[in-house]
Amino acid sequence: MVMVMELLDWKNLPFGYVKTDYNIRCIYRDGEWGKMEISSSEYIDIHIAATGLHYGQEAFEGLKAYMGKDGKIRLFRWEENAKRMISSAEGIKMAAVPAEMFREAIFKVIQLNRKFVPPYGSGASLYVRPLLFGSGSEVGVKPSTEYTFLVFVTPVGPYFKGGIKPVNMLICRDFDRAAPLGTGIFKVGGNYAASMRAVIAARDGGYASTIFLDAKEKKYIDECGPANFFGIKDNTYITPKSESILNSITNMSLIDIASDLGMKTERRQVPVDELSTFIETGACGTAAVISPIAKIVDPDMNIIYEYCKDGLPGRDSLKLYNRLVAIQYGDEPDTHGWLTIVD
């Protein structure tokens, strides 16, 4: 039998699904969580009237495990993902997954699929996807009484092709990702469904993704499709504050790293016209890590904002990226206590 290491081109992995050996499943029924089960199937049985299918009771997370030079697997900030999934569950009236149960499931699934953790130096990582959805049958619009929690893993390359290579973005005013007081702060599937028309239109036009503006006034930057936005000027890392965007764990980490590097940090409203004042801009998130933005096109205003004019990432974006990735792979000290070794 050919080994997995020989089948996969680790350095050229897409950000896509690769079948692995096992996943973890657990059912919430009669007011309590049952025992975790290990499955080798890629499929699930689900009731035709499940609330996850009809009424959007579904939340998920995304985090990564990294193989270090020392052969140890490091998991990055899983506690924050556990907190966020609890918040998402409470936000759409689902049974929450306790943090310790979340930890047990993700550690177990990584251990079971250890051979799929990309080798150190490949630039790839093991993406961990916890998923929670209403699996009980309801016809009326109300919360389910049964929930399924599952976790699968897949080895992935960078979300945006080229990794740290600068990308182009398109400002969108025709569609909103989430309402100002809606579910935008939760990691639920409906938010991503709402973004697809705009994101696909941008990609069809040759852009990496779209930049959404605030839904209420269309005056402020919200986020970059599946990632948070940041801008840099005057030695300051600036990222939007909004009631309709997901709080990125990567962005939280970059704010701390920026402070470590002697930069000021601001989380505040970012007017669209402030784009002309930034020296560097970028998209950040678990999937993308950092994707520097080379150009932002505003078709409605007929304005093009240009950065990375030499085709290379900006100095500060590169510093932030290199420091974060070095911490994740164990190459630099974990001074913030973000990493957990998976034995």
Q: Which residues are catalytic?
A: 187
281 CB-side CA count, 13 A? 27
Query: From CA 90, how far away is CA 88, in angstroms rounded?
Result: 5
Query: From CA 122, how far away is CA 20, in angstroms rounded?
Result: 18
Residue 166's nearest CA partner among 2, 321, 332, 333 is: 321
**DSSP 8-state class, residue 106:** H
Cβ pair 238, 258 in contact under 8 A: no
Residue 288's nearest CA partner among 157, 151, 118 is: 157
* SS3 call for 244: coil
- Tokens representing 79 are 């506690």
Output the CA–CA distances (angstroms, integers) from residue 328 to 22, 109, 127, 216, 259, in the order listed.
24, 19, 13, 37, 18
Alpha helices, DSSP H, located in 20-151: 51-54, 78-91, 99-112
Query: From CA 228, how far away is CA 230, in angstroms rounded?
Result: 7
Cβ pair 316, 255 in contact under 8 A: no
